[in-house]
Amino acid sequence: MPDTSTIQADGAASRRRFLTLAGGGGMAAATAFLAACGDSGKTMSTASTAAATTTKAAVDGDIAILNYALTLEHLEADFYAKVIASGLLKGAEQDFAKRVGDTERQHVEAIAATVKKLGGTPVAAPMSKFPLDNRLAVLKLAAVVENLGAAAYLGKAPEIKSPEVLAAALSIHSVEARHAAALNRLLGKSPTPDGAFAKPASEQDVLAAVQPFIVS
Amino acid sequence: MSTTHHTDLVPELAAVEVQGVSRQAFLVRGALAAGAVYGTTMISPFVRGAFAAEGMGDVDILNFALTLEYLEADFYRRARKLGLSHEVAKVARSFGDAEQQHVDALAATIKKLGGTPVASPKFSFPMKDEKSFLKLAQTLEDTGVSAYNGAGPAITSKEVLAAAGSIVQVEARHAAVIRQLRGNVPAPDAFDASLDTKQVLAAVKPLIRS
């Protein structure tokens, strides 16, 4: 068995050094870079990200994160299904919605399957409702949902314990980012609203933001 | 397990663009369907790839990323001389500025971790007009996304991972915009590919002069 205590001690030491140095200020770019780390430093556990810990707590933590992601993916998949059914988008925009909707369904299936394999129970899809009034409202809401999704994955990635789950989350995270950028551009907004470093969102903020779309 | 399923990757940029993405996306899905396995002996070969195998620490990974960011920053800088149309020139300026910020931030972080930032290689880019610029831009941005996604699980520090995540999200947004400018779908797969160091180096090698 690998000496995980050594690994963790080293990780903690390097993190301490990193944080100490981060607090020292310095170049503006470095400040922006470190700011992108968010508040995770304040609430950090002692387990390092890539250290493959086999504890039940680690597995349970990953299952909880996956179920959080699953809820968001359910909402996204429902959103696009309703958008497509509404007929508010035409031509290339409708095709885009179909393609993205299909992608979100694949995310739902993959995440649910992973939760099961980890011994967890996938959360059920929430009942959703979305204010789909016209083309512009639909596109704006799509952009909100996708930017939020990307920020949500970014916020959770450092907390994931299993390298496999992390790899999967990263492969979904960048796809949500692609969707967000495409929609922002369609609306004449910057595809990179946070500049050179994307900002994460906390679970609390994300759940509050999607609450209006959840019926039950 | 070895990474023999990667070795048939043709070391040409176009091949990475087409083959790498679809096969890797397939692998990600396969791994998800098979379920994640905890513990060091059962790690899927595609996840950690060369990063873990070569024992790369966070500073090594950051230096690898720095090299890619040097390449992207230089690429967009040179594109300014191509006489790009207004919209594309605006995108090139904005993206080039972001890549330079990534360079500065990665170099500063490497120093703060006690490492030495690698020097920038010299690059040459096969582009002569807007069309060839956009084609290469798509390949570079998509490869950048896959490089960060491949490195992510091997990063030890949560802070470094969070920062790498904030950069890869921007690379993905760049890739989507470039794809749109070329009339391509912004997100070709439901799961973005991950590439290991060998694959990434093979992809960018034709662009490195020294």
Answer yes or no: is pLDDT of B39 > 70.
no
Identify the bridge partners of residue B123 per DSSP, sorted by sequence position.
B208
**Domains of chain B listed by start with CATH number:** 16-207 (1.20.1260.10)
* Per-residue CA distances from B14 to A40, A105, A129, B58, B140 (Å): 38, 29, 43, 29, 10
Query: What is the arithmetic mean of pLDDT over B127-134?
Result: 97
Residue-averaged pLDDT of chain B: 80
**The pLDDT of residue B114:** 95
Number of neighbouring beta carbons within 10 Å of residue B4:
8
Question: What was the pLDDT predicted at A216?
Answer: 76
The Cα of B169 is separated from the nearest Cα of chain A by a number of Å equal to: 6
Whether B43 and A52 lie within 8 Å, measured CB to CB = yes
The mean-pLDDT minimum among B39-43, B60-64, B170-174 falls in: B39-43
Amino acid code (one letter) for B98 = A
Size of interface A-B (CB pairs under 8 A): 267
B144-165 average pLDDT score: 95
- In this prediction, residue B54 carries a pLDDT of 53
pLDDT beneath 50: ranges in chain A: 1-52
pLDDT at position A55: 86
ipTM value: 0.80
Identify the pLDDT of residue B163.
96
Output the pLDDT for position B16: 36
Each residue of B93-104: pLDDT tens digit? 999 999 999 999
pTM over 0.90: no
Is A36 at the interface with chain B, CB within 8 A?
A: yes
Closest in A30, A164, A175 to B109, CB measured: A30
Task: State both tokens at B179.
Answer: 């794809």
Residue B28, pLDDT above cutoff 50: no
Q: Residue A94 has what pLDDT?
A: 97
pLDDT at residue B35 tops 50 = no
Asked whether B176 and B186 are in contact (CB, 8 A), the reply is yes
Which positions 67-126 of A are in contact with B (Cβ < 8 Å)? 96, 99-100, 102-103, 106-107, 110-111, 113-114, 116-118
Domains of chain A in sequence order: 7-213 (1.20.1260.10)
